[in-house]
Structure 1
Amino acid sequence: MDALLPFRAMAYNNAWANHRLLTACAGLGPEEFTAHRTGFFPSLRATLNYILVIDHFYVDAMEGGTLGPVAWADPEPCATVPALREAQAAVDRRLISLLAALDAAGLARSVAVHRGTRVQRERMDRLLLHLFQHQVHHRGQAHAMLSGTSISPPQLDEFFAAEEAGLRAGEFGELGWTEAEVWSARGRCSCGSC
């Protein structure tokens, strides 16, 4: 099996789960979106913005950028679900594109993570695993918070199993993907120009 395939599939799965969760949140009124809730962060808006901010931090580093702690200078850059959906989809596309352009040797490449007072060096594969774990962890918190609202939380643990493809066909079309692209050996850059 291609060493990159699991990483590419996780990037697609991450984008799909964010899409599904934020689509559900679009049904919330502003009061429910910002209401104080039990969690690591005090609201759905704060939790979902945190996912976005940290995604910007790590994806920028993996792209060779030096954004560093500036990424979280504004802990809630998106005040509304539509703004958050657009910003999250953009960083998710960047991660998919990064992995589409990466080769197997790139997984062992050292990434400079700018931490303000120091630069941490980390292997690409380890940084990706950390990022995916971070996203799953905080999406789970948002999912639990959503269960305390008027909107039912969506199913997020379908990991692109073939038998569930029919359930996702509409979402894949909405996102511009096919099941074959998710599981292909090279993936597909979603920038539209590759």
Structure 2
Amino acid sequence: MSAYPATVYFAAQARNNAWANHRLLKACARLSQEEFEATRTSFFPSIKATLNHILVVGRFYVDAMEGGTLGPAAFADPLPCATAAELHRAQGELDRRLLAWCEALDDPGRIVEVHRGTRIQRERADRLLLHCFEHDIHHRGQVHAMLSGTSVKPPQLDEFFSVGEAPLRAGDFAELGWTEADIWPETR
């Protein structure tokens, strides 16, 4: 079996990212608004603040990948979504944009211009994507840990690539409009 081209890998990572966000936000939707906003121990002071941070930073980078110039204006409102339901909708839309960009990526080495206010950072697309995925994983882990102190059990988030775990993903994939064949070319 040959290795996947980088473009297939990045699209799979974008789906993994969207799937993990979807599962985590579905769990958070079961929280009361009080639990969602409660002060907790983490880098950001609440589940609400951490999930909004994931969204805001994602908007900053996806805009840059799409050729936009939003730049630091992305950070003007650090809490754009008041509820878990609003976050789920907004994050889902952003995840679809990121996936579409990754599926259209034909050169992982292409340069993306990231508008930083006083300067433009020029970064390879593959390196920027790796940073974005790691950023989300890092902060989802914080939310996952914070959920442990609530009435909602933290969901499984690390079985996306395990072939034996397809039943775990099937319902989520249906909700996202995907199948295994959309992810792995050899199953088409």
Judge same fold: TM > 0.5, yes or no.
yes
The letter for the 2-side match of 1:85 is H
Alignment of 1:1-194 (within 5 A): 1-103=4-106, 106-184=107-185
Q: Which letter maps to 2:21?
A: N
Identity between Structure 1 and Structure 2 (%): 66
Distance 1:182 1:95 in 2: 15
Judge conservation of contact 2:53–2:78 (CA < 8 Å) in 1: yes
CA positional deviation for 1:160:
2.6
Listed one character per residue, the Cα deviations across residues 24-64 of structure 1 (whole Å, up to 9, x for unaligned) are 00110010000000000000000000000000000000010
Tell me by how many angstroms 1:7 deviates: 1.1
Provide the rounded CA distance (Å) in 2 between the counterparts of 1:10 and 1:101: 14
Q: Moved runs in structure 1, 4+ residues, more than 3 A?
A: none
Displacement of 1:19 in angstroms is 0.3
Q: Which runs of 5+ in 1 are unaligned?
A: 188-194
1:53-89 C-alpha deviation (Å, 9 max, x unpaired): 0000000000100000111100000000110000000
CA-to-aligned-CA distance 1:88-144 (integer Å, 9 cap, x gap): 0000000000011111xx211111000011110000000000000100000000110
Query: How many Å apart are 1:167 and its aligned residue?
Result: 1.6
Query: Hey, what's the Cα distance between the residues in 2 that align with 1:67 and 1:75?
Result: 14
Q: Quote how far apart the aligned CAs of 1:5 are.
A: 1.8
| Residue equivalent to 1:192 | none
Distance in 1 (alpha carbons) for counterparts of 2:178 and 2:37:
32
In the TM superposition, residue 182 of structure 1 has moved relative to its aligned partner by 1.1
- Secondary structure of the residue aligned to 1:131 is helix
Aligned length: 184
Which has the higher mean CA deviation after the structures are superposed, 3-12 or 42-51? Answer: 3-12
Query: Which range moved further: 171-180 or 157-166?
Result: 157-166
TM-score (norm 2): 0.95
